[in-house]
Amino acid sequence: MSAPDREFVIATRKSPLAMAQTELAKSRFESAMPDARFRIEKMVTTGDKRQEWSLEKQGGKGLFTKELEDALLDGRADFAVHSAKDLPSEMPRGLALAGFLPRESCEDVLIVREGVGTPASIATSSPRRRIQLRYLFPEAEFTEIRGNVDTRLNKIARGVADATVLASAGLNRLGISEWEGVTFRKLTLDECVPAVGQAAVAIQCREEDVPLFAPHLDEETAVAVHLERAFLQTLGGGCQVAFAVNYTDTALRIFHLACGRETRNLPREYVASHYEKIASGLIEQLELKDA
């Protein structure tokens, strides 16, 4: 057997979910580029180290991406695998998004301790989730929660809080459909608008390498996430902001404190070439810029 034409190093976080997503990316590129070899390099980010930090108070921009981006910039890795919702709106000079893996289902899932009907306490570190859940559970008290998916599930089962919220995509990628001591209830996209990029796995690389990786990634997911990220870039927000945009099928859903929930139907063909125009137009129309 001949040696592979080239070895590519994949930068990723060490968490079980990050590794599951990275294995999906590795498998996709191995199928698309059979003459190449792909090696995974696991890294620890600031967000992983600082489990005691409040993402809302410290600010979440770059906490889960900077170390991976540094590895790309200094040549220790060829591309990085990120949860798209973790990527800041601004990217370091020299780096670009090559594209995305096919998107999973975008919904959030309410995780409730067994025996609890209506949760009186809900643990979430996301302002986006907290404020939208207040519409569903106006009497509930909210606390923060950190940790990997299994850690959060176990915390709710032990009674740290009555409920929490996790992304359906993460549960699906980890193969988790049930957990002892808790019950799952999928929230609709209208009940809780997902974060920008939620359920999408982003492939980031050096700008000059985009043509190498982009042809093997999912165009439909790219259209949706680029539209969502256009809103984030225009508003300059991060994961600590109570703002959400999701484009699924032809429905664009927006949540912001200034306007509540809004929905627009936009043909994909139009969206694909008008990201910035759509984002800036709706932000102006809904008066979100200075809200």
What does the angle CA 184 – CA 187 – CA 189 come to, to the nearest 5 degrees? 150
Give the pLDDT confidence score for residue 48 in this predicted structure: 54
**Does residue 145 carry a pLDDT above 60?**
yes
- Whole-number percent of the chain with pLDDT over 70: 89
Which top CATH class is 6-104+196-285?
alpha beta
Averaged pLDDT, 143-158: 94
**Does residue 58 carry a pLDDT above 90?**
no
Averaged pLDDT, 199-228: 98
Question: Which DSSP state fits 179?
Answer: B
Q: 184 with 109: CB under 8 angstroms?
A: yes
Q: 137 with 157: CB under 8 angstroms?
A: no
Tell me the fold of 108-186: D-Maltodextrin-Binding Protein; domain 2 (3.40.190)
Q: How far is 60 from 47, CA to CA, in rounded Å?
A: 8
Name the token pair of 166.
């996790």
Residue 140: alpha-carbon gap to chain centroid: 25
pLDDT band at 56 (very low <50, low <70, confident <90, very high): very low
pLDDT band at 179 (very low <50, low <70, confident <90, very high): very high
Chain segment 109-132, per-residue pLDDT in tens: 999 999 999 999 999 989 999 999
Q: Which residues are catalytic?
A: 86
Which amino acid appears at position 55 of this protein?
A: L
Report the range of poorest mean pLDDT among 91-105, 119-133, 277-291: 277-291
Name the token pair of 210.
């985009």
Q: How far is 141 from 121, CA to CA, in rounded Å?
A: 5
- CATH 3.40.190.10 segments of the chain: 6-104+196-285, 108-186
Q: How far is 185 from 200, CA to CA, in rounded Å?
A: 21
